């Protein structure tokens, strides 16, 4: 006799007991039997998924350094469970399980690596708090975030039970809804990789010990938040379509951020640690980005490439930038405040009349003795490439900067009265 929807019966517990003890072959067979049971009894599929994910949340043990470590048998079982999960949610599979009725929650699991490419799943916590020994591959996956209140109602009676196996008592418990969307918070893995990932109904939040975030051609309906990264060297969202705001907090290990060729239907905010002179400089690539407003603050940047940027507003505040490129940009207005710009290139740019200078204090201490070389505010008014701009530079700003390139004319910044003018061709 089968169990009621969402519950475990004696047969399911027997399978779970085999999954929790014995050698690798027996446990892999138990995992296969568990999912076969779900195939045969559709109303038990959610209970099967709960049990499989609960196994993945069991701590695998620790190595000599205190880090989680899998033995060979346990790793094989976890790989088999992940393989079985992927097979049930492949978008191309005619026999796949209904992702609307069976959410997938891998939160707080311990995994050797993850390949969920081309799946179609629903999840509000997905990999939050997971520990992954290898990489996370999500190419062409679709992740739908369910209604949190609806999930909480469904989860009220989700079961848990305790088994006694060869390794002692093992407690399996279904993951309960957190009440909010949190897909990759506090994840630990080598990298997140995925071309063409689609996330619907929830904001993509990424944090934790992640070596690199590579999600080109990402589609997200509620935007992206990347913060609290540790040891991350690269963040890439190249060619993405993001319907909400994008927020990225730079961390010392980052060498590059690339959101080029993307359309963001909201603001992009990139903030860093300008006061930390020990941090490496990051290269920020935002070429051909279409965005409502771009905010860059507190960053130590080698190259900030905004070529062919389309934006209503750009704000650069308290940044130390070796080279800032606005070549071919179409920007209505913006502000550069309290920042050092070593080299500024605005060839073929159209910059609207609302680029303004913030009245600076007499001295800015955050760059120490270099403050005299800091461009504090830059007043750019109505510049286009058809006519060599007159009055482009406001000489009331303190200090000097390197070359200003506008339509091929080097324009030195003078500290005397009057305005700097470009030379003739």
pLDDT computed for residue 382 by the predictor: 31
Taking 60 as the threshold, does the pLDDT of residue 274 lie above it?
no
The fraction of the chain above a pLDDT of 70, given in percent, is 68
Report phi then psi at 71, rounded to 5. Answer: -80, 170
Distance CA 254, CA 277 (A): 14
Q: Is the pLDDT of residue 156 over 70?
A: no
Average pLDDT, the chain: 74
pLDDT at 361: 34
Given a contact cutoff of 8 angstroms between Cβ atoms, the answer to whether 376 and 360 are in contact is yes
> Which residues have C-beta within 8 Å of that of residue 299, sequence separation ≥ 6?
250, 270, 271, 272, 273, 274, 282, 284, 319, 320, 321
Q: Which residue from 263, 375, 243, 391 is spatially nearest to 320, judged by alpha carbons? A: 375
CA count, 13 A, side-chain hemisphere, 94? 0
Helices (H), 41-114: 45-56, 72-89
Q: What's the whole-model pTM score? A: 0.78
Q: Are 322 and 281 in contact (CB under 8 A)?
A: yes
Give the residue, 351 or 186, on which the prediction is more confident.
Answer: 186
Q: How many residues appear in the chain?
A: 425
Mean pLDDT of 350-368: 45
CA–CA distances in Å: residue 419 to residues 338, 403, 414, 422? 20, 16, 8, 10
Q: 32-65: b or e for each residue (b if 16 or more CB lie within 10 Å)?
A: eebbebbeebeebbbbbbbbbbbbbbbebeeeee
Highest mean pLDDT among 46-55, 107-116, 137-146, 327-336: 107-116
Q: Any idea which residue has 């499989």 for tokens?
A: 52
For position 102, what pLDDT does the model report? 87
Are residues 128 and 143 in contact, defined by beta-carbon separation less than 8 angstroms?
no
- pLDDT at residue 324, as a whole number: 84
Name residue 49's beta-bridge partners: none
Residue 309 has pLDDT above 90, yes or no: yes
- On the question of pLDDT at 125 being above 70, the answer is yes
Nearest of 386, 151, 172, 365 to residue 274 by alpha carbon: 365
- Domain segments of the chain as ranges: 1-98, 99-155+180-420
What does R_g of the chain's alpha carbons equal in angstroms?
27
Give 136's strand partners: 114, 192
- pLDDT average, residue stretch 206-213: 94
Higher pLDDT pick, 318 / 148: 318
φ/ψ of residue 286, rounded to 5: -130, 35
pLDDT tens column, 52-111: 998 899 888 888 888 899 999 999 999 999 999 999 999 776 668 888 888 888 999 999
pLDDT of 395 > 70? The answer is no
What is the DSSP code (8-state) at residue 134? S
Phi and psi for 418 in degrees, rounded to 5?
A: 90, -170
Q: What is the pLDDT of residue 216?
A: 95
Asked if residues 231 and 254 have their Cβ atoms less than 8 Å apart, the reply is no
Per-residue pLDDT at 3: 43
* pLDDT over threshold 80, residue 346: no
- Angle between helix 24-40 and helix 10-20 axes, rounded to 10 deg: 150
């Amino acid at each position: 006799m089968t169990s009621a929807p969402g519950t475990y019966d004696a047969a399911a517990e027997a399978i779970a007991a085999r999954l929790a003890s014995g050698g690798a072959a027996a446990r892999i067979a138990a995992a296969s039997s568990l999912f076969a049971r779900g195939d045969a009894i559709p109303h038990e599929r959610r209970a099967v998924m709960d049990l499989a994910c609960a196994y993945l949340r069991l701590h695998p043990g620790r190595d000599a350094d205190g880090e989680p470590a899998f033995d060979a048998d346990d790793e094989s079982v976890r790989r088999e469970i992940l393989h079985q999960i992927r097979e049930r949610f492949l978008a191309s599979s005619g026999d796949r399980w209904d992702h609307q009725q069976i959410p997938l929650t891998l939160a707080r699991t311990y995994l050797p690596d993850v390949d969920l490419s081309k799946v179609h799943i629903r999840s509000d916590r997905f990999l939050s708090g997971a520990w992954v020994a290898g990489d996370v591959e999500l190419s062409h996956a679709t992740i739908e975030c369910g209604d949190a209140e609806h999930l909480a109602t469904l989860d009220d009676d989700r079961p848990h039970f305790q088994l006694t196996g060869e390794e002692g008592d093992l407690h399996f418990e279904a993951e309960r809804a957190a009440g909010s969307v949190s897909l990759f918070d506090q994840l630990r893995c080598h990298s997140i990789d995925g071309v063409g990932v689609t996330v619907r109904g929830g904001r993509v939040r990424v944090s934790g010990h992640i070596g690199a975030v590579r999600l080109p051609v990402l589609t997200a309906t509620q935007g992206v938040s990347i913060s609290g990264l540790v040891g991350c060297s690269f963040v890439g969202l190249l060619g993405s379509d993001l319907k909400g705001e994008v927020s990225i907090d730079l961390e010392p290990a980052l060498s590059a951020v690339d959101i080029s060729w993307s359309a963001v239907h909201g603001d992009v905010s990139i903030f860093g640690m300008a006061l930390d002179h020990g941090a490496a400089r990051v290269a920020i690539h935002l070429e051909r980005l279409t965005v409502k407003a771009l905010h860059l603050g507190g960053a130590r940047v080698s190259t900030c490439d905004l070529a062919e940027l389309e934006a209503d507003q750009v704000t650069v505040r308290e940044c130390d930038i070796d080279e800032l490129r606005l070549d071919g940009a179409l920007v209505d207005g913006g502000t550069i405040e309290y920042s050092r710009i070593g080299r500024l290139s605005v060839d073929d740019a159209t910059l609207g009349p609302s680029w303004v200078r913030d009245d600076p204090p007499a001295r800015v201490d955050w760059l120490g003795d270099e403050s005299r070389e800091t461009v504090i505010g830059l007043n750019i008014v109505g510049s286009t490439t058809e006519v060599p701009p007159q009055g482009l530079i406001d000489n009331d700003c303190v200090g000097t900067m390197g070359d200003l390139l506008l339509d091929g004319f080097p324009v030195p910044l003078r500290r005397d009265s009057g305005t700097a003018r470009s030379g003739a061709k």
